Amino acid sequence: MDFGLSAEQRLLRDTMRSFVNERIRPVAREWEESGRYPEEIAAAMAGLGLFGLLVPEEYGGMAADMVSLAIVFEEISRGWMGVAGILGSHSLSCWMIARYGTPEQRSAHLPALASGQRRTGIALTEPGAGSDLQGIATTARRDGAHYVVTGRKTWITNARHADPLPVLVKTDPAARPAHAGMSVLLVDPATPGFEVTRDLPKLGYRGPETCEIVLDQVRVPVTALLGGSEGRGLQQVLAALEKGRINIAARAVGVAQEAYDQALRYAGEREAFGQKISGFQAIQHKLADMAVKVQSARLLTYWAAARADAGERADLESGLAKVHASEVALECAIMAMQVHGGYGYSKEFGVERLYRDAPLMVIGEGTNDILRTVIARSLISGRGVIG
């Protein structure tokens, strides 16, 4: 097995690392604390073509492989995980439109999304339905050449910038099983009845907006039905989330790597009892544990990405990577704070932001508890094989 990166992937990693060091790190602490939207960073990412990561080349995108996508999200998250969120749901939605959209939908949306002229996200979660997507209550009633959409969505990243916004709805609420009546509509946010009601206050993951949305009798053209056929929505969303979990795992690797880097650097600078604290065995053990965890999470994430690139079903692999990497990020953030002692608790150092950002990866894109069940069912059924 080849665990190395290609020349192109190494160049991408180096380019992203320089970009993060020059454009993100210098402003991350101040902008994150103030809640300022990083519009200048988003514009710079558009200049690099990053909004077209998963858009086919014929529509102006990069058509990047999944390992390259993981590299991009890891490097950005090392500097400021919140900024990665601007690209995350956008890339997931672009992949879904490219994979399932009609030719007309792809032509209408993908070129502008690839350039960053427009952005997008995805509206799945509701106040009463998170991990249980079949439990959503948002409905789309057919009325001639339109659907009339009514419902509420929450925890929606890029809600104020998404155009269009793919929204998971029930086109047939009476369908059994429920997924047979679920569809995705590409909603124009300028349509009457579509309202972003508020930005949710968050512990971490600052930078992108995360909002609640109300859809009150929103009339959406039938031509905005993703793929043109009803009843395919949950299938489309779950396939996209498989890719999204690689993105989340890569973000977690970036947070974990940054926690390790900061702990290693501080241990080599801080003195106590007449010597550098890196000379104390307790600190050495923490650094060693962090190194093991970070590299294992990275390899698992790249393995899942490589499986997806090979065209293989990767729900097991992406689930394993997301669960392990997200928990590694949380563990490394805590250990980095312990290495820093009281300074790790101070906003003057970047460790406390890592500590606040890390829990999101455990919760988002399918909670780890849900994913453990998914992983176990895959193993028990024989669909997934380890070893």
Task: Indicate which residues carry an active-site annotation.
Answer: 365
- Report d(CA 386, CA 372) in Å as an integer: 15
Which H/E stretch holds residue 64?
none
Q: Are 157 and 210 in contact (CB under 8 A)?
A: yes
Report the candidate in 121, 236, 143, 130 with the shortest Cα–Cα distance to residue 182: 236
Q: Are 165 and 90 in contact (CB under 8 A)?
A: no
Q: Please list, in sequence order, all residues whose beta carbon lies within 8 angstroms of the beta carbon of residue 387, skipping any fewer than 6 positions away.
A: none
108 token code pair: 């209408």
- Report d(CA 32, CA 25) in Å as an integer: 11
- Report d(CA 122, CA 319) in Å as an integer: 20
User: CA dist 35 to 29, 255, 297, Å?
Assistant: 10, 19, 30
Amino acid at 68: S
Q: Are 55 and 96 in contact (CB under 8 A)?
A: no
Tell me whether residue 347 is exposed, middle or buried, using C-beta atoms within 10 angstroms of its C-beta: 0 to 12, 13 to 18, 19 or more.
exposed
User: CA dist 380 to 304, 369, 370, 374, 375, Å?
Assistant: 20, 17, 15, 10, 9
- Report d(CA 20, CA 78) in Å as an integer: 8
Residue that is written with structure tokens 């569809």 in the block: 183
CA dihedral 181, 185, 191, 193 (to 10 degrees): 30
CA 174 to centroid of chain Cα atoms: 32
- Report d(CA 237, CA 235) in Å as an integer: 6
DSSP string, 277-335: GGGSHHHHHHHHHHHHHHHHHHHHHHHHHHHHHTT---HHHHHHHHHHHHHHHHHHHHH
